[in-house]
Amino acid sequence: MMIGVARVDDRRKRLLYRSAHRGMKEMDVLLGGYAHKCLCHMSSADLLDFEALMDESDNDLMNWIYEREPVPHESENAVLRKIINYQKTL
């Protein structure tokens, strides 16, 4: 059982690093801040959604999060909606 917990912790650590080291400073701050605040509370499904978002380009994510462009259906998920709402509180 402890091995499973360690894997989840490693997964969250990797996601935290990936979210805070995107390459575009604004996205590093936004996604890194969101991850720092929310990763520990994410369900397995949310972690999958967040991982999928980490594979998107910074430019696409920025345009979707700041609602400059509509989110394509295949990229829309609950975590992205939460990040959009999080961004509005900053």
CB 41 within 8 A of CB 49: no
In one-letter notation, the amino acid at residue 71 is V
Q: What's the CA gap between 66 and 43, in Å, rounded?
A: 25
> What percent of the chain has a predicted confidence (pLDDT) above 70?
91
Q: C-alpha 9: how far from its chain's center?
A: 16
Domains and CATH numbers, the chain: 2-88 (1.10.150.250)
Phi/psi for 56 (5° steps) reads -80, 160
Q: What is the pLDDT of residues 46-84, one digit of tens each?
A: 999 999 999 999 999 999 999 999 999 999 999 999 999
pLDDT over threshold 70, residue 34: yes
Q: What's the CA gap between 29 and 45, in Å, rounded?
A: 24
pLDDT confidence band for 7 (50 / 70 / 90): low
pLDDT confidence band for 9 (50 / 70 / 90): confident
